[in-house]
Amino acid sequence: MVLAASAAVAACSRSVLDARQLRIGSSPTGVPFSFVDPWSNELTGSMVDTAALVARAIGRVPDLRITSFGALIPSLTAGKIDLIAAAMLRTPEREAVVSFSSPVYSYSGALVVPVASERTYPSLVSLRGLRVGAQIGTRFVDQLRSAGVIDVSTYDGLSDILRDLGLGRIDVGYGDQPILAYQLRVGPKRPVRLAEEFAAPAGEALCLVVRKGDPLLAQVDLAIERMRASDIPEINRRWGLEAS
């Protein structure tokens, strides 16, 4: 009887814990927003830290789950995760299937080019006729095609773009400015640089993402509003991100 009662208590405790857990999906290749720390093999980054803080603020226990970028929305809509915390920009196509929180950061795209290049790259239109690399499933691919850039190679991550650009397999890389800048600063040294003269089409809002119609959104937005003045800017500063 004692063993049966203990088992029942344990099962009840697990059930309560499961109900409190907030399953947070993050991609492993979006430094400094979300990535896997090679030393601990755990998810980390500014969006991961923000999502974990939001979870605790609404009385939930963050349960971090490594999910490839392309699988984030399918995993959310299928109920495998409850929240996306990654460098996923808000777009009309995505808003048709998921809901975005209030912004926690904003930024624009950047171009990375060979160090020896003497060309200027003022806009995306200037990339016509060049071989351009961009991350699959991102808004940046759509922006390139809208600008009339035809020769676009897609990659799973920005580090792959930097590698191929350094090897001369593509002429230009286009993607998230903070991620590219971070990888150029701390990653392998390559003969590439940011194109300082480039003007991105528009700034983009970075948000947490939940399922359509999920009441979780209101709780997340309230927590973000409470942390907007101090906690969230501090997380971003800790990851070397400029004030948005």
pLDDT value at 31 more than 90: no
pLDDT tens column, 225-235: 999 999 999 99
Same fold, 2-105+205-238 and 109-194: yes
How far, in Å, CA of 92 to CA of 96, rounded? 6
Mapped onto helix, strand or coil, the DSSP state of residue 137 is: coil
Q: How far apart are CA 149 and CA 146, in angstroms?
A: 7
End-to-end CA distance of the chain: 60
- Is pLDDT above 70 for 13? no
Candidates 106, 116, 226; CA nearest to 178 is: 106
To 10 degrees, the CA torsion angle through 123, 176, 138, 53? -150
Taking every pair of Cα atoms in the chain, the longest distance, rounded to a whole number of angstroms, is 81
68-123 pLDDT tens trace: 988 999 999 999 999 999 988 888 889 999 999 999 998 889 999 999 999 999 99
pLDDT at res. 223 = 98
Q: Mean of the per-residue pLDDT values for the chain? A: 90
Does the pTM of the predicted model rise above 0.75?
no
Res. 211: pLDDT tops 90: yes
Q: Domain residues of the chain, as ranges? A: 2-105+205-238, 109-194
Q: 3-state class of 30 per DSSP?
A: strand
Residue 43 has pLDDT above 90, yes or no: yes
**By the 8 A CB rule, do 132 and 151 touch?**
yes
Give the mean pLDDT of 145-165.
95
pLDDT tier, 14 (very low <50, low <70, confident <90, very high otherwise): very low
CATH 3.40.50.720 fits 2-105+205-238, yes or no: no
Q: Which amino acid is at 148?
A: G
Model pLDDT, residue 244: 54
CATH number, domain 109-194: 3.40.190.10
Q: What percent of the chain has pLDDT over 70?
A: 92
